[in-house]
Chain A
């Protein structure tokens, strides 16, 4: 199964780094979409099928928390796997994020961290489809 992935971050550099890490990870990738804020990310989700979302927290226009809440409010995407990649280091805030049913990767990240999290998510998806 090729994964369609959406990467949402206001830094084009960070989006590129995440995409490159995914491409190097050996994961089966389909379409790779990018968005610069939560609003743009939701626009992508309205017109494209996405299997996995990477999202930053601190972004202009619509931040990552607001985007995650909007995604979870849609029945179609209520179970969509989401990985937050953020410089956020506050345990309080990270716990708040993870209560929304997402995984968390702290910046700066290594390719191995991203691969490990995504492979875990893929494993869960396979288990759920059995």
Chain B
């Protein structure tokens, strides 16, 4: 099974636009340096299995969450609210992405999102990882998909 970067990017952009009013802003070149990151991982299983991981620079998360919650919030979102919101974004991206790949009929099971904050370099793509980097007005989003080995199309030696 082969999944294109465009498929992953398309799902990421749609969810970011609809849920967080965050739009792609093309123009930035090269990988960002990393730093404080918030990362949400959703494992899935069904006709094929794997995991979807959403990585965001921590500095843009409060604004994304504020967009999701609405302007009436008197206080900046708490770390718990930020993790919940990033987890939900990843959950929705995962649900949409696996169905985009599999078509309308198969049923998948999604695990609850695992969210963590960390200080790290911009994640390098692992083998068999399909990565979409979305430059945004205030930062970027990285969505990656890893399929379990049995699902990955073998490449000729």
On A, residues with C-beta under 8 Å from B are 10-14, 16-17, 20, 58, 60, 86-93, 107-110
Say whether B19 contacts A17, CB under 8 Å. yes
Nearest neighbor of B11 in chain A, beta-carbon distance: A108
Using Cβ atoms and an 8 Å threshold, which residues of chain B touch A87? Answer: 91-92, 94-96, 110
Which partner residue on chain A sits nearest B73 by CB separation?
A: A16
Give the dominant DSSP class at B's interface. helix
Interface size class of B (residues with CB under 8 A): 20 to 34
CA distance A86 to B112 in the complex (A): 14
Could you tell me if A10 and B81 are in contact, using CB atoms closer than 8 angstroms?
Answer: no
- Give every chain B residue within 8 A of A20 (Cβ-Cβ): 69-70
**Chain B residues in contact with chain A, CB under 8 A?**
14-15, 18-19, 65, 68-70, 81, 84-85, 87-88, 91-92, 94-96, 98-100, 104-108, 110, 112
In whole Å, how far is A24's beta carbon from the nearest beta carbon of chain B? 8
Instruction: Rank and list the top 3 A-B pairs by shortest CB-CB distance, nearest first.
Output: A87-B95, A89-B99, A108-B18
Nearest chain A residue, comparing its CB with the CB of B19: A108
Q: By the criterion CB–CB under 8 Å, are B69 and A88 in contact? A: no
B104 touches A60 (CB 8 A): no
**Contact across chains for B105 and A91 when beta carbons are under 8 A apart:** yes
Residues of B within 8 A of A86 (CB): 95
- Give the contacting residue for A89; candidates B19, B70, B84, B104; CB below 8 A: B104
* Chain A residues within 8 Å of B95, by CB: 86-89, 107
B107 and A12: CB pair below 8 A? no
Residues of B within 8 A of A91 (CB): 104-105
A31–B4 Cα distance when bound, in Å, is 46
